[in-house]
Amino acid sequence: MTRIALFASGGGSNAENIIRYFQNHSSIEIACLLSNKKDAYALERAKNLEVTTYTFNRADFYESTVVLDILKKEKIDWVVLAGFLWLVPESLVEAYENKIINIHPALLPKYGGKGMYGEKVHEAVWQAQEKETGITIHYVNSHYDEGKVIFQATTALSAQDTPESIAKKVHTLEYEHFPKVIEKTVLEHS
Ligand code: GAR
pLDDT in tens, 79-118: 999 999 999 999 999 999 999 999 999 999 999 998 899 9
Q: Identify the pLDDT of residue 163.
A: 98
Q: Is the CB of 83 under 6 A from ligand 1?
A: yes
Catalytic residues: 104
Question: H helices then E strands: how many in the chain?
Answer: 7, 7
Residue 1: burial class (beta carbons within 10 Å; 0-12, 13-18, 19+):
exposed
State which ligand 1 atom lies nearest to the alpha carbon of 145: 14
Tell me the pLDDT band of 142, cut-offs 50, 70 and 90.
confident
Does the pTM surpass 0.95? The reply is yes
Could you tell me the distance, in angstroms and rounded to a whole number, from the CA of residue 110 to the centre of ligand 1? 16
pLDDT digits 0-9 by tens, 42-85: 999 999 999 999 999 999 999 999 999 999 999 999 999 999 99
Residue 32 reports pLDDT greater than 90: yes
State which ligand 1 atom lies nearest to the alpha carbon of 118: 12
Q: Where are the domains of the chain?
A: 2-188
Q: Is the CB of 104 under 6 A from ligand 1?
A: yes
Beta bridge partners, 5, equal 32, 79
What dotted CATH number matches 2-188? 3.40.50.170
Cα-Cα-Cα-Cα dihedral sign, residues 69, 20, 7, 87: positive
Could you tell me the distance, in angstroms and rounded to a whole number, from the CA of residue 5 to the centre of ligand 1? 16
